[in-house]
A and B are shown apart, each in its own frame.
Chain A
Amino acid sequence: MTALAYRSYNFLTKRQSGLLVVIGLLVLLFLFGAFISDRFSSASNLLNVFEQSTGLALVSLGQTMTVLTAGIDLSVGSMISLLSVLLSGTIDGEASRVLPVCLGILVLGAAIGSLNGLTVIWLKVHPLIVTLGMGALLQGVTLLYTLGPAGSVPFEFDFVAYGRVAGLPVGAVFTIVLFILVALFLRYVPFGRFIYAVGDDETGARLMGLPRRRVLVFVYAFSGFCCALTAIYLVGRFGVGNVYTGQNYTLASITPVVVGGTLLTGGRGGVIGTLFGVYLISLLNNLLNFMDISTHYQLIIQGLIIILAVSVYVEKKRAV
């Protein structure tokens, strides 16, 4: 085997084993759907799925980063809700406020995320608990701020969701570009490597003098930033932020990460697997709609998928 072939083999079978699986499933699902319904495989439906996957993709991108460090962010749902009501509540129909408020929301998202990371470091509490608590806290703040839809955004704001450039949905294309940039960051910037190292062996990373704390703060801040992007997209799509806008995203954001082959124990996986995981889930939900299966069943299926996916990828006992 040549060195290059060995490396590709290594990459696909050991480090990104999820990638092949998830792409394979995506193809199978597509063929199955095309067989069942003509409209399912039509370009307009696929573009529609592509466009609607944006919210899930953005929040899962941040989630992937926390999971790579063997952490998790369970505050994403509430954070999206809070940021979305703050966004439309503060813009309140004024076109001139759109840009500054959006920037402010992005900074706020990153700041709340940093707080998650800092709490994990300071209090030495598992991220599961820190972010679960943070989620409840943020939901409370949201309900103190408003009990229903807050404010409004100018009509043109729906561009972030429905706008098309060269026939493609703007938000979805932006999302793909962002995923690719993050993938390159993880592979080619040393700090990206440290994220994997911290997830693989946190004690080891500390003994080697790697910037463990900075890594943790960064991934949670990035997750918060992604929540802000998701909130902007959702407000664009629905025209207003609501107090439970983000609610379903907490569990939903973990499924594509796991399906895409990132280990919950950290240190292995990547964002491209997550992106295909998002498409897989979105396509599946779309297909279920076509088959007239109620959303209740979709929730059941989602629960089963996440358990199954984790069980498939659980690492066998290491040799030696």
Chain B
Amino acid sequence: MLTLTSISKSFPGVKALDQVDLDVRAGEIHGLLGENGAGKSTLTKTIAGVYQPDEGQIEFDGEIVHWAAPGDAKEAGIHVIYQEFVLFPHLTVAENIFLGNERRGGLGLIDYAQTRRDARELLQRLGVEINPDQLVSELTVADQQMVEIAKAMVHKVKLLILDEPTAVISGHEVELLFKRLEALKADGVAIIYISHRLEEIFEICDRVTVLKDGQFVAGKEIGEIDRDQLIALMVGRDMSELFPVKEDDTPPGEVVLRARDISVNGRVHKASIELRAGEITALAGMVGAGRTELAMGIFGGLPLRSGSVEIDGETFSQMKPALAIRKGIGLVTEDRKGQGLAMQLDVAANVTASDLGAVTQSGLINFAKEFQIAEQEIQEYQIACRVPRNPVATMSGGNQQKVIVARWARTCSKVLILDEPTRGVDVGAKTEIYRIMRELAAKGIAILMISSELPEVVGMSDRVVVMREGVITGELAQGELSEESIMQLATQQEAA
């Protein structure tokens, strides 16, 4: 269906794609793998006509093509579902589905009744219950994704590309998505599937292509390869190195933070948790179990309905972020762009943002000093940035995450809360972040890690607290830790 031969694409200062080959057949799901910055997005956009390759040849559906704009590729039957959906929130579901391909009646005018009928039929074929008259902004993310797939079906899609489709949806929704993809595959659609979650790749893909640093590394049948080999191809590293070993076996120190019977906003009910110095505690559970809200309650980002937080021997019935920071608590939020980083500012400004006192002299910012600190942190955390003065927006997700961790490590002396610290981060950066967490714990900081990735929970934590529907359902010490035991607590029924 699609054959790319020696595709190269450069941007100022970077060779994003270097002689990449890829072939995707009709009726297969083809995994595209690689670390962040390996060139997956650039390749996707080249296939979709957003970028034009500098060299190489694209053959689609038996013809050599040169797309000048995204519209050409769409016309030919290529549909991309980007991580950020291309949906128009103020238009209805039906209007979004047929945008650019309006159902017309007499005089070439839009036929709304027809639009609605066809939209309903398409959604039914996908097996989802979505009202075509709803505004897209009112839908859940999973439903928005279905609307994107419905859009693809309007265009008689021949090649569907999904960029990290499961980053935004959870358990059951993922299963539904996979069913739809299998159905499309059975209809002869070629699918390129990009994901960081290797389990999914093995579950759904027929073949995989691995990119590294903009170059083609390998193309394999999924049966020929196992998980560890795949990781090795992506990073040139062994799986066992993913989780750094804990160096000394000193028992955890005293309790530094104690939350008692905290209730937050209807999402958390009377949860109690203790954090000890030098210990990594994981907060596990399904998406929506109230883990983020619990952390926010402790940090003061959300008001406490009941209960108290005790830190340093002092008890507070309400926290405020400024107070939490003063008391030595840090919080790395789940959403880097929205809550964590000033994307247009450089590494130096971001690192020192919560600790401006350290770089201020007579009330003015000392840029030389700020720069010096930034360089130190860049070394310390191995942050890959070409120029320290570049805005962090230009850096990869993993490096952005390191910048945030570096910032909090400067000010938080007691507790660091990390909410999904490795989401959307490539394998190499993951290891880095794990190493940093271990180092901080060794310095005596209590770490609370919220994570939905079970291997990470098992591999990293000294102790696991599990939540389900706002309630803490159990605690597991290191000896009892396994993915199964955690899942059981995370999903157990009321009666059990």
Is residue A167 contacting chain B, with contact meaning CB distance below 8 A? no
How many residue pairs link A and B with beta carbons under 8 A? The number is 84
Q: Contacts A190-B102, A209-B74; is A204 near B86 (CB within 8 Å)?
A: yes
Nearest CB in chain A to that of B92: its residue: A10
- Min CB gap B163→A, angstroms: 12
Name, among A189, A193, A200, A207, the residue most crowded by chain B CB atoms within 10 Å (CB to CB).
A207
Q: Which of B10-18, B131-139, B207-215, B292-300 contacts A (4 or more CB under 8 A)?
A: B131-139
Contact string against B for A residues 198-238, beta-carbon threshold 8 Å, 1 for contact and 0 otherwise: 00110010111110000000000000000000000000000
- State A268–B104 Cα separation when bound (angstroms): 22
Nearest CB in chain A to that of B86: its residue: A204
Chain B residues contacting A206 (CB-CB under 8 Å) are 70
Contact string against A for B residues 122-145, beta-carbon threshold 8 Å, 1 for contact and 0 otherwise: 000000000101110111110010
Nearest CB in chain A to that of B45: its residue: A207
Is residue B109 contacting chain A, with contact meaning CB distance below 8 A? yes
- Min CB gap A9→B, angstroms: 10
Is residue A319 contacting chain B, with contact meaning CB distance below 8 A? yes
Q: Contacts A6-B131, A320-B140; is A267 near B74 (CB within 8 Å)?
A: no
Name, among B48, B91, B95, B104, the residue most crowded by chain A CB atoms within 10 Å (CB to CB).
B91
Main secondary structure of the interface of A (DSSP, over half): helix
Chain B residues contacting A210 (CB-CB under 8 Å) are 71, 99-100
- State A14–B137 Cα separation when bound (angstroms): 11
Are B100 and A209 closer than 8 Å at their CB atoms? yes
- Min CB gap B212→A, angstroms: 26
Q: Which of B74, B86, B109, B141 contacts A188 (CB 8 A)?
A: B109
Q: Which of A209, A268, A318 contacts B71 (CB 8 A)?
A: A209
- State A196–B482 Cα separation when bound (angstroms): 52
- State A319–B137 Cα separation when bound (angstroms): 7
Contact string against A for B residues 9-27, beta-carbon threshold 8 Å, 1 for contact and 0 otherwise: 0000000000000000000
Q: Contacts A208-B86, A210-B100; is A200 near B70 (CB within 8 Å)?
A: no
- State A188–B102 Cα separation when bound (angstroms): 10
Contact string against B for A residues 154-188, beta-carbon threshold 8 Å, 1 for contact and 0 otherwise: 00000000000000000000000000000000011
Is residue A126 contacting chain B, with contact meaning CB distance below 8 A? no
Within 8 A of A (CB), among B135-163: 135, 137-141, 144
Are A10 and B89 closer than 8 Å at their CB atoms? no
Is residue B316 contacting chain A, with contact meaning CB distance below 8 A? no
Q: Which of B86, B102, B133, B144 contacts A201 (CB 8 A)?
A: B86
- State A197–B89 Cα separation when bound (angstroms): 9
Is residue B367 contacting chain A, with contact meaning CB distance below 8 A? no
Q: Contacts A188-B110, A189-B109, A189-B110; is A196 near B90 (CB within 8 Å)?
A: yes
Chain A residues contacting B99 (CB-CB under 8 Å) are 193-194, 197, 208, 210
Are A14 and B100 closer than 8 Å at their CB atoms? no
Within 8 A of B (CB), among A1-56: 3, 6-7, 10, 14-15
Are A208 and B133 closer than 8 Å at their CB atoms? no
Is residue B88 contacting chain A, with contact meaning CB distance below 8 A? yes
Q: Contacts A209-B72, A320-B140; is A193 near B92 (CB within 8 Å)?
A: no
- State A320–B69 Cα separation when bound (angstroms): 30
Is residue B313 contacting chain A, with contact meaning CB distance below 8 A? no
Is residue B82 contacting chain A, with contact meaning CB distance below 8 A? yes
- Min CB gap B89→A, angstroms: 6
Q: Contacts A193-B110, A208-B74, A210-B100; is A14 near B135 (CB within 8 Å)?
A: yes
Is residue B87 contacting chain A, with contact meaning CB distance below 8 A? yes
Are B141 and A320 closer than 8 Å at their CB atoms? yes
- State A308–B137 Cα separation when bound (angstroms): 25
Q: Contacts A7-B133, A210-B100; is A267 near B141 (CB within 8 Å)?
A: no
Name, among B80, B138, B141, the residue most crowded by chain A CB atoms within 10 Å (CB to CB).
B138
Are B92 and A267 closer than 8 Å at their CB atoms? no
- Min CB gap B326→A, angstroms: 28
- State A3–B89 Cα separation when bound (angstroms): 20
Are A201 and B88 closer than 8 Å at their CB atoms? yes
Are B133 and A189 closer than 8 Å at their CB atoms? no
Within 8 A of A (CB), among B88-123: 88-92, 95, 99-100, 102, 104, 108-110
Name, among B95, B102, B135, the residue most crowded by chain A CB atoms within 10 Å (CB to CB).
B102
- State A210–B86 Cα separation when bound (angstroms): 12
Chain B residues contacting A208 (CB-CB under 8 Å) are 70-71, 74, 86, 99-100
Are B95 and A193 closer than 8 Å at their CB atoms? yes
Chain B residues contacting A207 (CB-CB under 8 Å) are 48, 50, 70, 80, 82, 86
Chain A residues contacting B75 (CB-CB under 8 Å) are 209
Q: Which of A3, A197, A204 contacts B133 (CB 8 A)?
A: A3
Chain A residues contacting B80 (CB-CB under 8 Å) are 207
- State A209–B79 Cα separation when bound (angstroms): 11
Within 8 A of B (CB), among A266-320: 267-268, 318-320
Q: Contacts A10-B92, A318-B89; is A209 near B138 (CB within 8 Å)?
A: no
Q: Which of A6, A7, A194, A318 contacts B137 (CB 8 A)?
A: A318
Q: Which of A188, A197, A209, A320 contacts B91 (CB 8 A)?
A: A197
Chain B residues contacting A189 (CB-CB under 8 Å) are 108-110
Nearest CB in chain A to that of B151: its residue: A208
- State A90–B60 Cα separation when bound (angstroms): 59
Q: Which of B70, B72, B88, B140 contacts A267 (CB 8 A)?
A: B88
Chain A residues contacting B131 (CB-CB under 8 Å) are 6
- Min CB gap B15→A, angstroms: 24
Chain A residues contacting B89 (CB-CB under 8 Å) are 200-201, 267, 318
Nearest CB in chain A to that of B104: its residue: A190
Chain A residues contacting B72 (CB-CB under 8 Å) are 209
- State A206–B71 Cα separation when bound (angstroms): 8
Chain A residues contacting B144 (CB-CB under 8 Å) are 320
Chain A residues contacting B140 (CB-CB under 8 Å) are 320
- Min CB gap A144→B, angstroms: 41
- Min CB gap B424→A, angstroms: 17
- State A196–B138 Cα separation when bound (angstroms): 18
Are B69 and A204 closer than 8 Å at their CB atoms? no
Are B135 and A10 closer than 8 Å at their CB atoms? yes
- State A207–B48 Cα separation when bound (angstroms): 9
- Min CB gap A210→B, angstroms: 6
- Min CB gap B400→A, angstroms: 20
Within 8 A of A (CB), among B404-452: none
- Min CB gap B411→A, angstroms: 28
Q: Which of B70, B90, B135 contacts A209 (CB 8 A)?
A: B70
Chain A residues contacting B133 (CB-CB under 8 Å) are 3, 6-7, 10
Q: Which of B86, B100, B104, B138 contacts A319 (CB 8 A)?
A: B138
- In the assembled complex, 23 residue pairs joining A and B whose CB atoms fall closer than 8 Å, in A order, are A6-B133, A10-B92, A10-B133, A10-B134, A189-B110, A190-B100, A190-B104, A190-B108, A193-B95, A197-B99, A200-B91, A201-B86, A201-B88, A207-B70, A208-B70, A208-B74, A208-B100, A209-B70, A209-B75, A210-B99, A267-B90, A320-B139, A320-B141
Q: With A7-B133, A209-B73, A209-B74 given, can you name 11 additional A-B contacts, CB distance below 8 Å?
A: A188-B109, A193-B102, A193-B110, A196-B88, A196-B91, A197-B91, A200-B91, A208-B74, A208-B100, A209-B70, A210-B99
Contact residues of A with B, CB < 8 Å?
A: 3, 6-7, 10, 14-15, 187-190, 193-194, 196-197, 200-201, 204, 206-210, 267-268, 318-320
